[in-house]
Amino acid sequence: MAKVHYFYSTMNAGKSTSLLQSSHNYEERNLNVLLFTPEVDAKIHDSFIHSRIGLKKSAQVFNETFDFVDYVYKENKKRVSCILVDEAQFLTSKQVKQLCRICDEKNIPIMCYGIRTDFRGELFPGSLALLSLADNIIELKTICEYPSCSRKATMIARYDKHGEIVLEGNQIDIGADKYKVYCRKHYRELTKII
Q: Give the separation between CA 133 and CA 8, rounded to whole angstroms.
A: 14
- What percentage of the chain reaches a pLDDT higher than 70? 92
| 3-state SS assignment for residue 57 | strand
For residues 154 and 186, the answer to whether their CB atoms sit within 8 Å is no
Q: What is the pTM of this model?
A: 0.91
| 3-state SS assignment for residue 72 | helix
- Name the nearest CA neighbour of 61 among 98, 93, 34, 21: 34
- Name the nearest CA neighbour of 34 among 96, 102, 91, 94: 102
Instruction: List residues with catalytic annotation.
Output: 87
> 148-157, pLDDT tens digit by residue?
999 999 999 9
For residues 131 and 124, the answer to whether their CB atoms sit within 8 Å is no
Higher-pLDDT residue of 173, 185: 185
pLDDT score of 42 = 58
For residues 152 and 141, the answer to whether their CB atoms sit within 8 Å is yes
Higher-pLDDT residue of 59, 47: 59
> 121-146, pLDDT tens digit by residue?
999 999 999 999 999 999 999 999 99
- Name the nearest CA neighbour of 191 among 169, 162, 161, 159: 159
Q: What is the mean pLDDT of residues 43-69?
A: 80
